[in-house]
Amino acid sequence: MLVRSRKHGESICIDDTIQVSVLEVRGNRVRLGITAPLGVAIHRTELQLSLSAAKAVTAPITSDIRKAN
Q: What is the pLDDT of residue 49?
A: 85
Q: Is residue 69 part of a domain?
A: no
Q: Is residue 33 part of a domain?
A: yes
Q: Is residue 17 part of a domain?
A: yes
Q: Is residue 15 part of a domain?
A: yes
Q: Is residue 32 part of a domain?
A: yes
Q: Is residue 39 part of a domain?
A: yes
What is d(CA 37, CA 22) in angstroms, rounded to the nearest whole number? 19
Q: Could you list the residue range(s) of the whole structural domain that residue 24 is in?
A: 11-59
Q: What is the pLDDT of residue 52?
A: 82
Q: What is the pLDDT of residue 15?
A: 93
Following DSSP, what letter does each residue of the chain receive, concatenated? -------TT-EEEETTTEEEEEEEEETTEEEEEEE--TTS----HHHHHHHHHHHHHHSPP---HHHH-
Number of domains within the chain: 1
pLDDT tens-place string over residues 13-69: 999 999 999 999 999 999 999 999 999 988 888 888 888 887 777 766 655 555 554
**The model scores a pTM over 0.75:** no
Q: Is residue 68 part of a domain?
A: no
